[in-house]
Structure 1
Amino acid sequence: MKIYVTSVFVDDQDKALRFYTDVLGFVKKHDIPLGAARWLTVVSPEDPDGTELLLEPSGHPAVPPYKTALVEDGIPAASFAVDDVRAEFDRLRELGVRFTQEPLEMGTVTTAVLDDTCGNLIQIVHSQ
């Protein structure tokens, strides 16, 4: 068994697609209309057949309180592996990305947490 699709709830699918592709560097995999929303996924360009991230609309009534609680408690909605957290932090900061946690070394793991502009905190991580 392996993870095929995972998701983050986003306030605006178009805005999320721009952020996740133009800023974070993912590539669009699927964009299928489903009424007012879309089945919209992105993948890593390094693994185009790997796990897809669904940019899922936040329309369900349970989603806004859930997202708010996570953000207020500083809990990331997702975690993405990078080769060098400090380099990625610097690159993203140059692009105007707001971080809620600067790079932090915790033993063999380094993390940082960013705001995806769509209502989520996202962790970037590298483990040695």
Structure 2
Amino acid sequence: MDLKLSQCFISVDDHDKALAFYRDVLGLEVRGDVGFEGMRWVTVGSPLQPDVEIVLEPPAADPDASPADRLAMAQLLAKGMLRGVIFSTTDCDELFERVRASGADVVQEPEDQPYGLRDCAFRDPAGNLLRFTQKRPAG
């Protein structure tokens, strides 16, 4: 059986700000922009991974979510408590400088980790934690 990741989801509270970050700062390509029942989903992905997509969706993106559930999700998003993603890069330091220059919220500057990676972390405009990792040479 073949099994591969095809999509993951990140909640955002402002799709235009999210697009400015994911498209313009990170360089991901926009693959879709769909509205339905007053909500919007924007799909982005790396040109290097045409079969993997990140869907930027509203918090509580279920048309049947109660107002209380929508409020709870919006509050969790505002606190940065929802999950983000981990990207890999070939140059963590160069990527860090580019993302920092955009004004993104720095969580961790580039740092060598004992498990063989160099990584850094930011929050996207909605508060989601994004990590960027680079494999270090063995030894």
Same fold (TM over 0.5): yes
Gaps of 5+ in 1: none
Query: In 1, Cα distance between the equivalents of 2:73 and 2:118?
Result: 29
How many positions carry a matched residue from both structures?
Answer: 123
2:59–2:73 contact (8 Å) kept in structure 1: yes
> Deviation of residue 39 (structure 1)?
2.7
Deviations 1:73-116 (A, max 9, x none): xxx62111111111111122222222111111113111111011
> Deviation of residue 66 (structure 1)?
4.1
Q: Does 1:83 align with 2:90?
A: yes
Report the equivalent of 1:50: 51
Deviations 1:1-37 (A, max 9, x none): 1111101111112221121101111010011221211
Identical-pair percentage: 32
SS at match of 2:100: helix
Q: Give the number of the structure whose alpha-carbon radius of gyration is greater.
A: 2
Change (3 A) 1:115 1:69: closer
1:70–1:77 contact (8 Å) kept in structure 2: no
Alignment of 1:84-103 (within 5 A): 84-103=91-110
Q: Does 1:120 align with 2:128?
A: yes
Alignment of 1:34-45 (within 5 A): 34-45=36-47
1:9–1:63 contact (8 Å) kept in structure 2: no
Report the equivalent of 1:70: 81
Q: Does 1:27 align with 2:38?
A: no
Query: In 1, Cα distance between the equivalents of 2:54 and 2:74?
Result: 19
SS at match of 1:118: coil
SS at match of 2:119: strand
Gaps of 5+ in 2: none
